[in-house]
Structures are given as C-alpha cells and as structure tokens.
Chains A and B, each alone.
Chain A
Amino acid sequence: MTSDPQFNDYLRQHSDLSDLYRQGAAEEPSRELDTQILSESRKHVVPQPGTSSGEFLRGVFQLKYWPAATAMVAVVLVTVAVNIQVPMPEPGVIHNSPPGKVQQIPTTELPETDRRQPTHTTGSTLPPATDAQALKAGIPIVTIKAPSGTADPEPAEIWLQKIEQQLADGRQEDARKLYYAFRELYPGKKIPDGLLSRLGM
C-alpha cells in the first residue's frame, strides 16, 4: 500500500489480480546460482576471531576501541620490558639466586610446602607480591608449569584453528591472510609442522 488513500483504494479494487500474481510467483534462482554467488561473496572476506579485522582497525582509528587498543599496547610493552630485565625462569630453577647465577636444585630437595602450594602455576615471568615477600624471607620459590590440558586455550590456538579451518575449506588465500595477521600478533609463536607448506609458503 502507499501513502495515497485514493490510490490505495484503486489498488484494493485490483487486489484479486495481485493475489493471482502472487500465487504463481514461485520461481527461485537455482541452488547452483545461490552457491556460486555466496561462494563469491566469501572470497577476500577474512573472518577475525571475535570481530572483523576491518571493523577493529577502523574502530581503532575512530577511537571506538581505544581502551582495548591501549590495553593491548600496554601489555605488549610490559611483557617486552620484563623479558629484557628478568631472565626467563625454567621449571625447577630458584629465583632468589644472585643475578646471572641461577642455582639448579633437584625437585626432591624442595620444601614440601612449596610443592603442595605453588604460589603461581603458569610460566609467568613476573613473580606476584607473595613471591617478593618470600624472596625477602629467603624462601626458595619454584616456578611450576601448568599441566597441559588444564589451562584455557590461548587466543593463538584459536587463530591456528581458524587457519586450519580455512585450509580445510580450500581457502588458502584467506588462510594465508590470517597467518600474516597471526604472525603480527604472535611473533615467534610455534606453529604446527607442515603448516607453512600447506599455506604454500
């Protein structure tokens, strides 16, 4: 119907023709055509975990996501700074040795309390406040890696899954684009064997 009452009356007088037409208007494009068009629409569109890359980058430029972007930059800077100043501890290595001299002790020599109640369970490089107190008191602190399978999957793993998914769907170009973005975000992150060759790189 339209915003013209007189014309609406006119259309109503001919509604039987409209109804008759609609009864026969059942033709649809073929499934093959649907598939072709939808497949074309997916080309060059790179899905991002959570949000689209274009949307996020545009959002950053428009300051839409600036708190998130600032937080990400801060985390990267802190991580870099800590990596420069503090040597990465290995599991079973005591922290409170003099700088440059780390003392390896057998796990059997560790105090019982430390093994039962680790102060932190991941490979964090920054000891928490309780560790600082322990260091002051001369209590050895042991860094224990979380058992595999108990920790939440890292975002990097989600990225790798997405890349694998694109490859499985035969979209190598999209997979490659995702890989480049992944490398930007996780430089040095180990990737599954043979992934590069499957990406054609």
Chain B
Amino acid sequence: MNTAPTLSAELFVIPVDHGHLVYAPLRQAAFLTNAAGVNRIADLQAGTHCPGSEEADALVEFLRRLEIVDSGEETQPLTSFKGVPKPTSVTLFLTTACNLRCTYCYASAGDTPLRSMSMEVARRGIDFVIANAVELGEPAIELAYHGGGEPSVNWKTLTASLAYARDRAAVAGLRVHAAMACNGVLPDYKIDWIIGNLDGVSLSFDGLPEVHDAHRVDIAGRGSSDNVIHTIRRFDEADFAYGLRLTVTREHIPHMEASVRFVCENFRPRNIQVEPAYQLGRWRDAPSAETAGFIAGFRAAQAAAREHGREIAFSAARVGSLSNHFCGITQDSFCLTSDGEVSACYETFIAENEWAKTFFYGAYDAATDGYQFDIDKLDHLRGQSVDQREFCRGCFAKWTCGGDCYHKSLSVNGAGEFQGSDRCHIIRELTKDQILARIAKSGGLFWHEERVGNEKSAGKEMLL
C-alpha cells in the first residue's frame, strides 16, 4: 500500500552563495539545492506534494535515502538531570594565584583575592565522586584541575590530591582520568610529573611567539613563549596528549592563519582550539574580537591547518556531536572552589565573581559530613539547555552548539532571557563551514552519517 511521503526530519534551510543548504542535524544529513528544491521539500511538509513526475519521485527518493522522508521519528539528543546530583567527575579550582599576568585573562588571575585549595577540600570532593561512582557502577572517576589561576602553582595540593585519588580509587576498583588546564610555564620537574601522571593537558598558547608574548606575560611583563614552547617540545618528545588553546584578540586576528600554521609546523597537539578573547576580567573593556574578521581569520587558519592534515576547533561549532548542552553547567558539573563551594562553571571560581550566586549551588556541610545542594539553583541551571531556550528554537546550530556558554550569555544579556550574542553569528558561520566541508569530504553531493549516540561530554573542550 503506497502512502504519501512524509517529512521525518527537522529541516533547516541555510542561505549560501547562490543557493540553499538543506540541513537535517538529527539525521546528520545535508545537501545544497536551488530554490525549486527547497520549495518542493516545503510542499512535502505542507502535504501539497504532487507525485508522479520523474523529478518529484526522484526528489522523494533522494530525501528518503537521507532519512529526511519516511524514516520515522527523530530522536532528539536530550539529556536531563533531576534530584540530588551524583557527579563522578570533580574539577578542582586549586588557586587564584598565577605566575603570569595575561592581559586578556578572564579571571584577572593574580589580581583577585588569593585563595589556595587545601588538601582537605580536595579530599572531600574526591571522596564524594568516588562514592558516587561506586554507587552508580561507573568504572572510573574524572579529576580535573582548572580555573581562576594557574593550577600548577598550588603544586602541593595538585600532586597530593591526584595521589590520594588514585589510592582511594584503586581501593574502590575504579580508574582515575586526570587532566589539567595549564599555562605551560613550568619547570622541568613539573613537566616530568605531568607527563608521568596526567592523561592530558590543555595548554594556553597563542601561536606565533610575538603574538603570544604580546599578551601572555609574566609579572615583570616579559613574554612567556620560550617557556611554553619548551613545555610543548617536552610533551611532544614524550608523545604526551595535550591540546592547545589559542586566544585571539582583535588586533591579532590578522595573525590567526600564521599562528595556526606555526603550531602545525612545529608541534603535535591532539587538538587545536581557537577562541576569541572574552571581554571579561582584565579584558572587559577591550575591543571585541567576536567579529566578521574573526570568522574570516578562522577560515584562513582552518585552511592552513588542513594543509597539514589538521583541523582547528571552535568550542561551540561541533557538527558531528549532537547535544542539548554546551557544557556541564546544565549537567550538574561539580567544580570545587578553593574555599570548598560547589560551582557549575569554570569561569566562576570565587564568591566575589559577578555570577557566583547563579553558578554556586552547594557547599560542604561539616554537620552531615557531606555536600548540601541548592536544588532550586541547580534546576535553574539545568533549565539552560538549548531545547528549553525559546530564542534558539529556529537556529540550525542548536543541536551542535547546545546553547553556547551560559556565563558568556549572562555577561552579554544579563540574567534575563537569552537574546543571542555576537558569538551566535560566529557559531552559525563556522557550523555552516563544517557542514559544507562534510559534504565535500563525502563526495561533494550530500552528507549523511549514521548517528553514533549522543556526545555526553560535549562542551568539555578545555580538558582532553
């Protein structure tokens, strides 16, 4: 029995030069067509499709093969959290101190009140996630060091906490995945320890030494590229897994391509992430780098990377990874500040931060020897996933961007309803590039890929 063909995918039509990119994100399918093609598909949607002609039948057949027609309901990549959180990952904000004074530091590291995590705070957090992992039957816990300062400055707690975690996890039959964000200014003995003990490191390195040294300076104002390059070379020699994060200020946008080329020609990072400098912290009043120039620079840098068989990444443009979350703030991310408060956000690391009241959702309670959580706050954070954002409903990038960084949107829009940002434009343009690149890579006519589950960890771009 023949039935009328039915659209079975959420379809977006994205204008490109002299044509239209038809994109079904949840089917991981896309192709380029003309206006007539779009209108025929719109006919299918409206139920006004006229079958019978060779062209109409061919179009339906083409769409069917891309799972856009007659392929049943799509599965949205929705993960949601309820009740008391039971995280199996902990991120420790070890210190607000830093051995650098980067001009664009979002955390104003070194200028904020000095805080340093004690082993006691770290121990409680580690014990908590180990207990959760045992209860949930997880095979491993994740331990990350991040935020607010340079984690390696609090060397004592860094090394002791990882040793403690490994000891306790071994008793519980768990593995420990440990990673750190780091500025790369490290003495050799710390490099040796990192290579021997961590599973990965995200290093901040801006590419060309002159570009790096313009912003990433020590307390005396001296550039740090020599130190960081030494660290990277040591990592390469040891075949250690690390990623590089390049932060681009407005005046350095013209150097993006050369910086990425420099990285590709000299180092072997597992991934290269390029982000515009955030107008936060010391860079609050600086000119925005979230411009059309950044997009053009990113494209040039991407082309340079591909010449070396590499890809560069932008945190919120990630075709191939479907999620309703950008990062962990909607997924009960469990980060501990130096003082022991529970934060959901990497960028909110002390109580003095502007949005601490939004992102701090719990603290250790000595009376119960456990963590007490503010479930209302947590539910508010959980409600920031992209499927619950009205503004994002019609955006083709929503299932890959996941709603972008909530902290940044708060900085732009305030606490009201999300109203978009300059980053949205960057995300859409770079997402479009990725779709087109996938079409090209798939032979040039269409892209269609089997969906391989949701990317639970999408958004943890800072840590490998």
The answer to whether A and B come from one shared complex is: no
| A residues lining the B interface (CB < 8 Å) | none
